[in-house]
């Protein structure tokens, strides 16, 4: 009987991992479909040449696409943290995992609001290859590279790589759903601090290009979960600084990448 009890958290953890992977895979597929629709809509707008009137995706559909993309990108990276929380939930020590994960995804969905404002202004100019937009994208790469090297980035990354102390500080409140929800919000805040510059790159340079999203998702996963992730984050910053410099000096290069 004790063997069954001890194996339950492990089995539940495996089920949770498979569920998160399945959700991420579904989100990637839906994101690719929506991205294709977005590109088709912009192409038709540009080819229609209806005077100076060009339209971009409305806020609602954009937020759906953004939330799906964030789920696809962040769920694989956050899986170890969620499994850690789920083991405590399976033992009855904290509120159900759904409260934590829901709060986490809500925060990332809300980041779609400023992302939309930026994307709305840059989507068409980037597609048209306007020099000012391409140089701005290069400046964004420079900013992201510099941010990777800041103390704030390192502090947020340390939290995301080793969240146990964070859960220990909150353990008295995690038994209640509101406490678990708050913990999810706070953890997502650290994740935003860790990844905000990379998400800015996603919007400002790639106009929601799913291939750039894949590269960024891999980078986020590596820097959070692999032993040499902190070193990788530093070298990623150096690489972004180099790429940003090249794009600022030769803006047309970015047109070939997006």
CA angle in degrees (0–180, nearest 5) for 8-12-16: 170
Neighbours of 156 (CB within 10 A): 19
CB 119 within 8 A of CB 173: no
| HSE-up of residue 187 (Cα within 13 Å, Cβ side) | 31
Kindly give the residue spans of alpha helices, DSSP state H, lying in 49-130. 59-90, 97-110, 112-128
Cα-atom radius of gyration of the chain, to the nearest Å?
Answer: 20
Token readout for 222 is 């590596």
pLDDT given at position 5: 40
Q: At which residue do the structure tokens 């925060």 appear?
A: 107
Mean pLDDT by 10 residues, the chain (258 residues): 41 53 58 56 49 61 80 78 84 88 90 88 82 90 95 93 80 86 92 89 71 82 90 95 92 74
- SS3 of residue 102 by DSSP: helix
Q: How many angstroms separate the CA atoms of 119 and 126, rounded?
A: 10
Q: Rounded to two decimals, what is the model's pTM?
A: 0.78
Q: How many angstroms separate the CA atoms of 4 and 141, rounded?
A: 51
Q: Is 250 left (phi over 0), alpha (psi -120 to 50) or beta?
A: beta
pLDDT given at position 234: 95
**Burial group, residue 152, by CB count within 10 angstroms (0-12, 13-18, 19+):** exposed
Token readout for 40 is 């088709």
Residue 55 CB contacts under 8 Å (≥ 6 apart), including other chains:
41, 45
Domain residue ranges in the chain: 2-257
pLDDT given at position 144: 94
Q: How many angstroms separate the CA atoms of 144 and 240, rounded?
A: 7
Kindly give the residue spans of alpha helices, DSSP state H, lying in the chain. 2-48, 59-90, 97-110, 112-128, 131-147, 151-161, 164-170, 177-206, 210-225, 229-249, 252-257
């Amino acid at each position: 009987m004790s063997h069954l009890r001890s194996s339950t958290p492990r089995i539940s953890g495996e089920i949770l991992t498979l569920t998160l992977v399945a959700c991420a895979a579904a989100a990637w597929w839906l994101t690719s479909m929506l991205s294709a629709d977005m590109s088709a809509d912009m192409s038709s707008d540009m080819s229609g040449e209806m005077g100076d009137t060009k339209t971009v995706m409305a806020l609602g559909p954009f937020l759906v696409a953004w939330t799906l993309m964030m789920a696809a990108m962040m769920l694989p990276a956050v899986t170890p943290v969620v499994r850690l929380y789920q083991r405590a939930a399976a033992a009855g020590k904290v509120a159900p995992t759904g409260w934590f994960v829901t709060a986490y995804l809500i925060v990332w969905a809300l980041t779609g609001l400023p992302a939309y404002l930026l994307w709305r202004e840059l989507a068409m100019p980037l597609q048209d290859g306007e020099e000012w937009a391409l140089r701005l994208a290069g400046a964004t790469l420079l900013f992201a590279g510099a941010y990777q090297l800041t103390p704030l980035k390192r502090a947020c990354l340390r939290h995301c790589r080793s969240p146990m102390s964070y859960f220990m500080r909150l353990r008295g409140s995690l038994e209640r759903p509101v406490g678990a929800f708050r913990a999810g919000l706070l953890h997502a805040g650290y994740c935003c601090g860790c990844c905000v510059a990379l998400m800015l790159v996603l919007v400002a340079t790639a106009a929601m290009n799913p291939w750039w999203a894949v590269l960024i998702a891999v980078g986020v996963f590596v820097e959070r979960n692999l032993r040499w992730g902190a070193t990788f984050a530093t070298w990623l910053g150096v690489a972004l600084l180099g790429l940003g410099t090249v794009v600022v000096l030769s803006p047309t290069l970015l047109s070939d990448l997006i």
